[in-house]
Structure 1
């Protein structure tokens, strides 16, 4: 994870002035996770459990794992295919437990152990499977530590590259299947799903070094419904939208564990999480009038609001004074972070798929659609990835 705090602020140039479609890479099925850039390779996981590697400059396919064509029937199970990178290795988590990496079930793991999916490590250059990781979970790389966030089996930490177990917090259940945010002094912030009589939303803070619980923040009467957002650590606070009757965004003090900052969202409700940069909080809202908003952290006043032509997808991102977002209809927008005025917008002609609401969506985030880099934006779509330059 390059942005450990998940602030949404990327130290790259992006595309501040104009954009055109440079290439389109097909996966055949929706890409639900934000693409990952590893050196000159772009990685994307599709909704049937495959990982695709493309040349980041040209969009040419380098490999696909597993390298087989598969056409599931109507109503097929939609996978959460999570991808992260450590050096020259690709960590892949397929969160559905279906035997994606051959041999796990044969090795004696029972159904409960496979509940949290399966994790494998691939070679970045070839896509070859290097090894399998016992049990599963949503993978996230933090330095030389591999975190596996299980819905039912808690959170585990393994050292890289040898996968030596470091700790296992079995009580950390019900966490959202998304990368956590990290902060000073080993702070590890996980977002919790909301499900009646089981999990109650909020934030679970662990110690990255030991796995021990530091605190849990659970707003009263919180109810996300589907696709809860990740936590963000930035500007000395822990940020998170709180979906309840007041629809607030809160900033928690990591020492007092209480909200030190609040902003009531109107109109609409927060969609995704927040990006925090240059003393402002940026977020999208959904409802009858979808929009992107900017709020000044010091004054807590809304600086600008920019309507969107359709529902926004995931959390906006920030790079060098520009806020980028995309809509479900495939329009990508670049907004001036200071004023909210459009720098440019481009209709890719490609829809961006959002998972249909279901029981699993209680623990799955809608990922950001846009990955900004130096001179290129990569945008996930319902059929692959499009690169803008």
Structure 2
């Protein structure tokens, strides 16, 4: 583990950004996990405050395409670019507030309080939300997972090791080495971290994956539960004491976070796809597989509803589940019964990365970052 102090300074707002209004084709302007920060329940960090209304569509272009989905936090929107920089934008106007050179392509972004954490292929940075000032960086490993933050500790995993870092300076508090490949993220609740080990990724299907419950303070293994005949590859959804994880071959399973006992298992018809990362909200688990969105009971795994239209990580906001099934349309379903309540066409170049959603706008990437007002949303019947 190595650390550097202010190795790279934040780059001031400059001509590398272009913010324009009216950039989308008019016919597509009508009517936004991680897991995005706009959700208010489950394993997704809450938005700190809604940004001011987006009055007109805007576009932000970096020196190269975008590498991460947008992350919304208060009045700022964060997105990493293939040009190796993390950008902080004014969520209402698209104006660049600051940029930070990560030194490699940014991978995942997490906002907690007044800090934004970003990972590259092997390093993680803690930056000030307002200015982009570097507070620490740590050279951790390769293929880092999304960071999670609890109190003054930052948790993340690389291909083989799970780390707990001091949030203030990036120093290592403890680490845990799995039996196979980690790196798909974790979640923490009530002092217990739930994370997964894919097993031997050179063998498909894997013989055994493992789910671990770790003590958040010490890294001690509290329990471990083997899963045969699937590779658990999603981030973890945590709700009501049950951790839910999805596998490459169609398994979705719930685990008692205190004991590791398998509470339920559900096999989905994957049709050549694998389940995307689930989220937990309102006592249920929501996820997509191919072109279908599912809602399961959190404590039993019973199917509550399924809807045609999936294809991306789900987003939850204000009683709705949002998915972007085909890069053309954003759909919103009633989280209780699966009725389609919202449909908005987007730019057909939209990449298959989950959008960020506020009360006033949808934020997504299509090489650039786009913001589209929700003023003209069409209510589905």
Give the TM-score of the pair, scaled to structure 1.
0.71
Once the two structures are TM-superposed, the CA of residue 270 in structure 1 deviates from its matched residue by 4.6
Does 1:251 pair with 2:254?
yes
Q: 1:380 to 1:177 in 2, by over 3 A?
A: farther
Q: Deviations over 1:44-88 (max 9, x none)?
A: 1124432111001211112222299xxxxxxxxx94522233443
Name 2:173's counterpart in structure 1: 166
Counterpart selection for 2:89 from 47, 54, 57: 54
TM-score (norm 2): 0.73
1:190 — aligned with what?
195
Residue 234 of structure 1, aligned match among 236, 239, 256? 239
Uncovered stretches (5+) of structure 1, i.e. residues with no partner: 69-77, 96-116, 355-367
Q: Determine the C-alpha separation between the residues in 2 that align with 1:90 and 1:298.
A: 33
Determine the C-alpha separation between the residues in 1 that align with 2:298 and 2:140: 42
Segments of structure 2 that go 5 or more residues without pairing to the other structure are 1-33, 375-381
In 2: Cα distance, 1:265 partner to 1:292 partner: 11
Q: Does 1:23 align with 2:58?
A: yes
Q: Does 1:84 align with 2:110?
A: yes
Secondary structure of the 1:353 match is: coil
Q: 1:278 to 1:192 in 2, by over 3 A?
A: same
Q: How does 1:1-389 map to 2 (within 5 A)?
A: 6-8=42-44, 22-27=57-62, 29-66=64-101, 79=105, 81-95=107-121, 117-136=122-141, 137-138=144-145, 139-152=147-160, 154-171=161-178, 174-178=181-185, 180-184=186-190, 186-193=191-198, 195-196=201-202, 200-223=208-231, 228-244=233-249, 247-266=250-269, 268=271, 270-286=274-290, 290-297=291-298, 300-308=301-309, 312-314=311-313, 316-354=314-352, 369-389=354-374
2:252 aligns to what SS in structure 1?
strand
8 Å contact kept, 2:75–2:91: yes
* Deviations 1:214-234 (CA, angstroms, capped at 9, x unpaired): 22333111146xxx2111111
Give 1:135 deviation, angstroms: 3.5
Cα-to-partner distance string for 1:67-112 (whole Å, 9 max, x where unaligned): 99xxxxxxxxx945222334433332211xxxxxxxxxxxxxxxxx
Mapped to 2, the partners of 1:83 and 1:8 lie a distance apart of 12
Matched position secondary structure for 1:59: coil
Residue 64 of structure 1 aligns to a residue in which SS?
strand
What CA deviation, in whole Å up to 9, does each residue of 1:102-131 have, x standing for no partner? xxxxxxxxxxxxxxx123333433334444
Give the whole-Å Cα distance in 2 for the aligned partners of 1:385 and 1:330.
13
CA shift in 2, pair 1:340/1:89, >3 Å: closer
Q: Deviations over 1:145-176 (max 9, x none)?
A: 12242224x12222232334321224476212
Aligned residues: 328
Instruction: Name the CA distance, whole Å, in 1 between partners of 2:180 and 2:74.
Output: 34
Aligned-partner SS, 1:218: strand
Identify the residue that residue 21 of structure 2 maps to in structure 1.
none
Shift of 1:242: 3.2
SS in 1 for 2:109: strand
| Highest RCO, 1 vs 2 (Cα 8 Å, sep ≥ 6) | 1
Supply the RMSD in Å over aligned alpha carbons: 3.5
